[in-house]
Amino acid sequence: MTVLVLGGTAEARALAAALVAAGQPVLSSLAGRVSQPLLPVGHVRVGGFGGVRGLVEFLAQQPVSQVVDATHPFAAQISANATAACAATGRPLLRLTRPGWADHPDAPRWRWVPDAHRARAAITGAERPFLTSGRSTLSAFLPLADRDVLVRLVDPPEEPLPVRWRVLLSRGPYELAEERRLLRDHAVDALVTKDSGGAYTVAKLDAAAELGVTVVVIQRPPPPPDVATVTDVAAALAWCLRPVS
């Protein structure tokens, strides 16, 4: 029987590798949003399931014994779908989600906002904002067309952006020295990020603190209720390999 890992994160790739190393069959699922995704080891499928109904059918047809939702903390729809589909099919579900940045030493100085629109409102005084909150949030910032906005994305934007905006295409992890240089070179005066958490992209926050850059953090959506949750790959591996009566 296979473990289905809902992925698209570094933790999901690490869990797939650990399961393969332990001899446990694993099927990783990716949404297919990114043009050249980093592929996990083991079997991989790509694309949506077709909502809760599609995922229920998938679980009924495939030899999946249990599901790990290791998707990004902001991927709320697939997490809700997994919760509903596992409840409907009786498949055990574990959520693997990295801790957020609320415990970062500078977190009390950041402006925490519930969504991208509030993040835009929080940086109306900025002349050179740096947006790292992802492609799906960009439309909320379009009113800042008259600012020298720097945007960092994995894939190119889907819609044209204001001519004054500059787009950097790259994928983490990032080091403190390069983040410091980037913020300095672009004279960034405000940084917008999701509370993605983890170590891969935290260096921008450390660099912003050093340079006195305003930081605006978009809070995580609420996690799915009543789902067993772990925050590290070792705990998720232990759950997958536990004896099941």
Do 18 and 2 form a contact (C-beta atoms < 8 A)?
A: no
Q: Single out the residue of 10, 15, 26, 78 in contact with ligand NAP (rule: CB under 6 A).
A: 78
Q: Does 9 bind ligand NAP (CB under 6 A)?
A: yes
Q: Does 134 bind ligand NAP (CB under 6 A)?
A: yes
Q: Which two tokens stand for residue 60?
A: 């009924």
Q: How many CA atoms lie within 13 A of 14 on its CB side?
A: 15
Q: Which is nearer to ligand NAP, 10 or 18 (CB)?
A: 10
Segment contacting ligand NAP by CB under 6 A, of 2-10, 18-26, 177-185, 203-211? 2-10
Q: Single out the residue of 27, 75, 188, 230 in contact with ligand NAP (rule: CB under 6 A).
A: 75
Q: Single out the residue of 66, 71, 83, 132 in contact with ligand NAP (rule: CB under 6 A).
A: 71
Q: Does 33 bind ligand NAP (CB under 6 A)?
A: yes
Peptide bond into 173 cis (omega under 30): yes
Among 191, 155, 195, 190, which Cα is nearest to 171's?
155
Q: Which is nearer to ligand NAP, 77 or 170 (CB)?
A: 77
Angle between helices 233-241 and 10-21 (to 10 degrees): 40
Q: Does 50 bind ligand NAP (CB under 6 A)?
A: yes
Q: Single out the residue of 14, 26, 40, 72 in contact with ligand NAP (rule: CB under 6 A).
A: 72
Count, residues near ligand NAP per rule CB under 6 A: 24
Backbone angles phi, psi at 20, to 5 degrees: -60, -45
Q: What residue number has its CB nearest to ligand NAP?
A: 48
Residue 78 C-alpha from the chain's centroid: 12
- Per CB under 6 A, contacts with ligand NAP among 167-206 are 194
Do 129 and 118 form a contact (C-beta atoms < 8 A)?
A: no
Residues 6+ apart with CB under 8 A from 108: none
Map residue 209 onto helix, strand or coil: helix
The site for ligand NAP (CB under 6 A) is made up of 6-9, 29-31, 33, 48-51, 54-55, 71-72, 74-78, 81, 134, 194
